[in-house]
Amino acid sequence: MIQRASATALRGSRALAGVVAVTLAAAALSACGAPTSPSSSTTTSAMAPVKPSSPIKLTILDGGGDLKGGGQAAIDAFVKANPDLVSSVDYQTAAGTDVTGKLKAQQLGGSVSTSLVLGGSDVLGAAQAQHVLAQQIPEHSAGLPVLASIQDAGRAGFQKLSDGYGLLIGYDQNGPFLDYNAANLSDSQVPTTPEAILAWAKDHPGKFGYAAPNNSGSGRAFIMALPYMLGDVDPSDPVKGWDKTWAYLTQLGAYISSYPTSSTLLAQQFGSGQLTMIPTVISHDISFRQSSTYPANTGIALFSKQTWVTDGHFAMIPTGVSPQTLYVDLALESFIVSPQAQAMRMGSVLTSANKNVTIDDAGPTAAAFVQKWGRSGFFQTAFRTGAVHAPLTPSALQKAFGLWQRNVGAKVGG
């Protein structure tokens, strides 16, 4: 069944009830000391956390946009509640593709200045492959919430993707689905199958596009959903199981003028009218309409064979942090998945990392936000439509990125 709705018809709506997330808040805890420089993740994993005797500085590196939408506010709340443990926080951002290199350089230099890393499976996969992350679970589970109390099967499945090298701090049903410029494309004209999109792109060259998957959540969701929609042999194996997907993306690439290097650049192209239709995800559909990057009348449509690829972000601890930093990291992570902190993060997604909290628990501000921007009535039905699948494992995702770059991204307009 095809479901679509224009933004005009869906504006000014009532609050969307959805699972929104979070868990038992962690109490006041500690801070971050001078880092040491162990040479392997085993060193930090085997090290016991030690509560610092005086407040110390945290350096938090965001490789996935987690500081936005209440993420930084939640961390600031932790710091405010623990002045005896945290003296200050240095917030840093980096492209997901640059995080591993930064950590590797610090570790090779013998001085790990980054306390905590935030990012998605792409960040975790690349960092894990280079052995720059400490394994938190089960080694340091005692310093974290009981995961079974805050994660259902879907969240637990996503948590499992980390192999214990990250704590799930954000989770949503994600996408992909389609956003389109309703001024140039009517509801009845929206192509909602991969084959129809290819035909439409051929007739409208340069008007459909998606961002490079290695640095875009929407681009990543799009290519991971295609194997299911196209009937590939093994959607979990981009190397041996994606023959139809790679062939399709190569064909589609002949009518795509560029692959923006980030979701933000893609949004700007769509908002300016350069693109008429793009695959998107929930957080982008909401946040880019809120910021007026997307047109006010942006339309939305599900695929006729809707396939949801879940998404989540992790908090990760670099190899080589001090025992004091490790102690604070575990405390901060515990707070980040608390009801208080997760409520602050509800400014861009409708579900979250904890199974227990709904939008009604998030307070009037979040409810008003969802009422205004959450496309009430659409996502409620959409979440019950189609199939839900976990994303690729971090290692498989890295292989998919490499294959995409060589076979698709390097042949723009090919």
CATH number at residue 192: 3.40.190.10
Instruction: Say if residue 262 is in the same domain as residue 405.
Output: yes
Same domain, 157 and 72: yes
At 199-251, the pLDDT tens digits run: 999 999 999 999 999 989 899 999 999 999 999 999 999 999 999 999 999 99
Same domain as 199, residue 85: no
Residue 104 lies in a domain: yes
Same domain, 266 and 150: no
Are 76 and 131 within one domain? yes
Same domain, 73 and 148: yes
Same domain assignment for residues 264 and 401: yes
**pLDDT score of 7 more than 50:** no
Pair (103, 158) in one structural domain: yes
- Residues 281, 328, single domain; the answer is no
Domain count, the chain: 2
3-state percent breakdown (helix, strand, coil) of the chain, nearest 5: 40, 15, 45
Structural domain of residue 72, as residue ranges?
A: 41-171+311-357
Instruction: Answer whether residue 174 shows pLDDT above 50.
Output: yes
Give the integer Cα–Cα distance in Å for 262 and 46: 37
Residues 166 and 181 in one domain: no
- Whether residue 15 has pLDDT greater than 70: no
pLDDT digits (tens, 9 = 90+) for 83-117: 999 999 999 999 998 999 999 999 999 999 999 99
Burial letters 255-289, b for 16+ CB under 10 A, else e:
bbebbbbbbbbbbbbbbeeebbbbbbbbbbbbbbb
Tokens 């492959």 belong to residue: 129
The pLDDT of residue 154 is: 83
Query: Is residue 35, in this structure, part of any structural domain at all?
Result: no
Are residues 208 and 242 located together in one domain of the fold? yes
Q: Is residue 36 part of a domain?
A: no
56 and 120 assigned to the same domain: yes
pLDDT beyond 80 at 120:
yes
CB 313 within 8 A of CB 170: yes
In a domain, 101, yes or no: yes
99 found inside a domain: yes
- Residue 26 placed within a domain: no
